[in-house]
């Protein structure tokens, strides 16, 4: 099994200075904004599922 790709930028500030966090797998920290975050795979969408979430109306 291959390793997952690292995130390219911080989801909060957009900076690219990211480092693995000691919290564990999928945890990253941003040196620019001093935030830590974790990436998590939720699962696959069923075929034919809209990208629109439940309760949201299309405009």
Boundaries of domain holding 27: 1-40
52 HSE (CA, 13 A, CB side) = 8
pLDDT of residue 55: 58
Report if residue 13 sits inside a domain.
yes
Residue 50: pLDDT band with limits 50, 70, 90: low
**Distances from the Cα of 3 to the Cαs of 6, 53, 59, in angstroms?**
9, 29, 39
pLDDT of residue 2: 46
Q: Domain tally for the chain?
A: 1
Report if residue 15 sits inside a domain.
yes
Report if residue 51 sits inside a domain.
no
Report if residue 21 sits inside a domain.
yes
Report if residue 59 sits inside a domain.
no
Report if residue 45 sits inside a domain.
no
pLDDT digits (tens, 9 = 90+) for 7-42: 999 999 999 999 999 988 889 999 999 999 998 888
Report if residue 8 sits inside a domain.
yes
- Helices then strands, counting H and E runs in the chain, come out as 0, 3
């Amino acid at each position: 099994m291959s390793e997952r790709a690292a995130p390219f930028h911080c989801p909060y500030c957009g900076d690219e200075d990211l480092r693995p966090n000691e919290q564990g797998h999928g945890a990253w920290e941003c040196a620019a904004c001093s935030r830590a975050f974790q990436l998590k795979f939720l699962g696959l969408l069923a075929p034919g599922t809209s990208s629109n979430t439940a309760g949201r109306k299309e405009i």
